[in-house]
């Protein structure tokens, strides 16, 4: 997720009461990672694509709705969600959806329906990328040596290497499951893969009023309930993870507040003020081309922050906690809680229940002796 979007939208945390976030992934990105790739299977505990794809989206929501507003100078306890629910499905990438014309084929290179299939590995990796001279991600994930091969020996050698890799396959009846699970199979038919993670999932988090103590509220300039709530009112947040979309890894969101409405995507942030009726559009600064494929510049931003934090501790004498909060902008507690929220959501989905956050959190702490 772009650092620009995350920090620009933080100002709305003090008044928002409903937020919707859509995390999207285009079809070739989905099949590369979650159908044929390394993240196609749930963990032993049953956690899947919500953890590998959207843990940072959950973190973004919690950052907006649970933590102190910018510049807060008073004690602001974590505003815990009251409840978490989740529903999800795997409906597209399974054998029952396989086209009849594909017959018994399990690999794109030998499939009679390959030319008519939008998930063809040849179309995705060779036609969309390699034939245009693009040997970076995701091609280099399929063939780690393809960049050097293309530069040194040319297109023909690179194509030969790619086709050899895509032709690799297995017989489900005779190949041990441990062998199948140990690696990606990028030429495998998406309807014959061993994937079991969800392709569509919704998570809903709900909060109740949790006002600040009167002694704290008095320092903010008032004792009435609005002052004591100060961003801690009842609110609802919804995350919708969608696997097949036009956009690649784009976050789209909408915030409905008491003072206005805000929406955003990867390019703009639009706010509407209920009082004035005015609409303001902010253009998000473009990420340098070399950083675009690194999670929209997020990888570079995180790396820069880490280096600056280390420098502040080593050269300026800062405490680690201060550098963590002020430069990296995320504490260990925040990172732990966001991942824990994902686990709670997955538990809610698997068991078909509503998870009470505080009870769940307390129980997990007891389990590990905290």
Tokens 């159908």 locate to: 35
Summarize pLDDT for 79-127 with one digit per residue, the tens. Answer: 999 999 999 999 999 999 999 999 999 999 999 999 999 999 999 999 9
Tokens of 179: 């062998």
Fill in the DSSP letter of residue 195: -
Summarize pLDDT for 14-59 with one digit per residue, the tens. Answer: 334 456 666 555 556 788 889 999 999 999 989 999 999 889 899 9
Tokens of 176: 């041990």
Band of the pLDDT at 224, cuts 50, 70, 90? Answer: confident
- DSSP 3-state assignment of 114? helix
Cβ burial 196-226 (10 Å sphere, 16+ → b, else e): ebbbbbbbbbbbeebbbeeebbeeeeeeeee
Q: How is 248-289 classified by DSSP, letter by letter?
A: SS-EEEEEEESSEEEEE-SSEEEEEETTT--EEEEEPPPPPH
**191, 98 in Cβ contact below 8 A?**
yes
Tokens 């008095």 locate to: 218
What is the spatial distance between Cα 31 and Cα 186, in angstroms, rounded to a whole number? 9
Q: pTM, whole model, 2 decimals?
A: 0.86
Q: Which of 132, 146, 246 is nearest to 186 (CA)?
A: 146
Band of the pLDDT at 248, cuts 50, 70, 90? Answer: low
Residue 280 has pLDDT above 60, yes or no: yes
CATH 3.30.360: which residues of the chain?
10-90+201-284
Neighbour tally for 268: CB within 10 Å: 12
**346, 47 in Cβ contact below 8 A?**
yes
**5, 218 in Cβ contact below 8 A?**
no
Please give the residue that has the higher pLDDT: either 179 or 321: 179
Residue 11 has pLDDT above 70, yes or no: no
Q: What is the mean pLDDT of residues 326-351?
A: 92
**240, 57 in Cβ contact below 8 A?**
no
- DSSP 3-state assignment of 160? helix
CATH topology of domain 10-90+201-284: Dihydrodipicolinate Reductase; domain 2 (3.30.360)
Residue 28: the pLDDT is 60
What is the spatial distance between Cα 237 and Cα 17, in angstroms, rounded to a whole number? 8
- Residues of the chain with pLDDT > 70, as a percent, come to 88
Neighbour tally for 70: CB within 10 Å: 10
> Packing angle between helix 332-351 and helix 357-367, nearest 10 degrees?
110
What is the spatial distance between Cα 117 and Cα 186, in angstroms, rounded to a whole number? 15
Residue 24: the pLDDT is 52
Fill in the DSSP letter of residue 212: P
Q: What is the mean pLDDT of residues 289-300?
A: 76
Residue 7: the pLDDT is 31
Residue 239 has pLDDT above 70, yes or no: yes
Band of the pLDDT at 291, cuts 50, 70, 90? Answer: confident
Residue 212 has pLDDT above 90, yes or no: no
Residue 296: the pLDDT is 72
Cβ burial 144-157 (10 Å sphere, 16+ → b, else e): eebeebbeeeeeee
Q: What is the mean pLDDT of residues 349-368?
A: 95
Hey, which bits of 114-156 come out as E strands?
A: none
């Amino acid at each position: 997720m772009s650092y620009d979007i995350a920090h620009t939208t933080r100002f709305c945390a003090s008044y928002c009461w409903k937020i919707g976030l859509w995390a999207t992934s285009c079809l070739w990105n989905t099949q590369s990672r979650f159908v044929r790739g390394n993240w196609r299977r749930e963990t032993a505990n049953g956690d899947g694509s919500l953890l590998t794809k959207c843990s940072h989206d959950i973190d973004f929501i919690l950052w907006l709705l649970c933590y102190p507003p910018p510049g807060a100078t008073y004690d602001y306890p974590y505003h815990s969600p009251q409840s978490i629910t989740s529903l999800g499905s795997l409906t597209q990438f399974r054998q029952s959806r396989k086209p009849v014309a594909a017959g018994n084929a399990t690999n794109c290179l030998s499939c009679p329906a390959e030319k008519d299939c939008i998930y063809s590995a040849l179309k995705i990796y060779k036609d969309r990328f390699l034939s245009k001279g693009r040997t970076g991600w995701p091609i280099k994930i399929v063939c780690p040596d393809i960049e050097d091969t293309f530069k040194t020996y040319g297109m023909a050698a690179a194509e030969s290497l790619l086709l050899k890799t895509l032709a690799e396959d297995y017989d489900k009846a005779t190949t041990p499951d441990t062998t199948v699970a140990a690696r990606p199979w990028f030429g495998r038919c998406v309807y014959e893969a061993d994937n079991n993670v969800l392709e569509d999932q919704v998570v809903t988090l709900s909060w109740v009023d949790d006002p600040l103590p009167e002694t704290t509220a008095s320092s903010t300039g008032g004792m009435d309930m609005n002052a004591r709530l100060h961003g801690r009112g009842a609110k609802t947040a919804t995350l919708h993870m969608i696997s097949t979309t036009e956009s690649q890894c784009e976050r789209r969101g909408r915030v409905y507040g008491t003072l206005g409405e805000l929406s955003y995507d990867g390019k703009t942030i639009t706010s509407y003020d209920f009082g004035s009726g005015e609409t303001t559009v902010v253009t998000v600064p473009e990420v340098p081309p070399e950083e675009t494929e690194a999670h929209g510049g997020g990888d570079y931003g995180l790396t820069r922050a880490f280096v600056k934090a280390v420098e502040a501790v080593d050269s300026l004498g800062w405490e680690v906690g201060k550098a963590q909060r002020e430069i990296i902008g995320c504490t260990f507690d925040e990172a732990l809680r966001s991942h824990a929220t994902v686990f709670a959501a997955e538990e809610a989905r698997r068991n078909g229940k509503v998870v009470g956050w505080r009870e769940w959190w307390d129980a997990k702490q007891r389990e590990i002796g905290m």
